[in-house]
Structure 1
């Protein structure tokens, strides 16, 4: 069984986004603050497949959930 680490970098890579630390920081700065009333998966900056991946991560408490939760927290600061 392969065990892989799911970090912010690998999450961004999975979402098809640039994933260097500076890219992640720029993404967060561009899109925060995300109001608490808007679920992360419903944010306007995701495309349909990205939103579906995030929604699925929450719904299934998937292996990606820690990285998704971390991103959610960064966007809400």
Structure 2
């Protein structure tokens, strides 16, 4: 059983990525996605990372809001500016 408290930092750790605040900010800035590319289908994920994101999101468990947050962050350039 996974007892990790869901957070963006913990998600990055599970994806095998650097999880410091600076590293997460850099990743998000450098990996913006077009509106028509789904998070789990992004070309920069490995097959395992993509599968992890899809499974956690589709299971709609406590990780879903964190994955939604990452999805919004990676599509920020597509969002209308207010």
Q: Does TM, scored on the shorter chain, surpass 0.5?
A: yes
CA contact (8 A) 2:18 2:24 kept: yes
- Counterpart CA distance in 1 for 2:16 and 2:4 is 18
Which runs of no fewer than 5 residues in structure 2 stay unpaired? Answer: 77-82
Deviation at 1:62, TM superposition (A): 2.5
Match of 1:38 in 2: 37
For residues 9-44 of structure 1, give each alpha carbon's deviation from its aligned partner in whole angstroms, at most 9, with x where no partner exists: 000001000000000001001101x12211100000
Which residue of structure 2 lines up, in the alignment, with residue 59 of structure 1? 58
Matched, 1:25 2:30: no
What stretches of structure 1 of length at least 5 have no aligned partner?
none
CA-CA distance at 1:60 after TM superposition: 1.0
- Aligned-residue RMSD, C-alpha: 1.7
* Offset, 1:76: 0.8
Shift of 1:5: 2.1
CA distance in 1: counterparts of 2:66 and 2:30, whole angstroms: 19
- Per the alignment, residue 68 of structure 2 pairs with 69
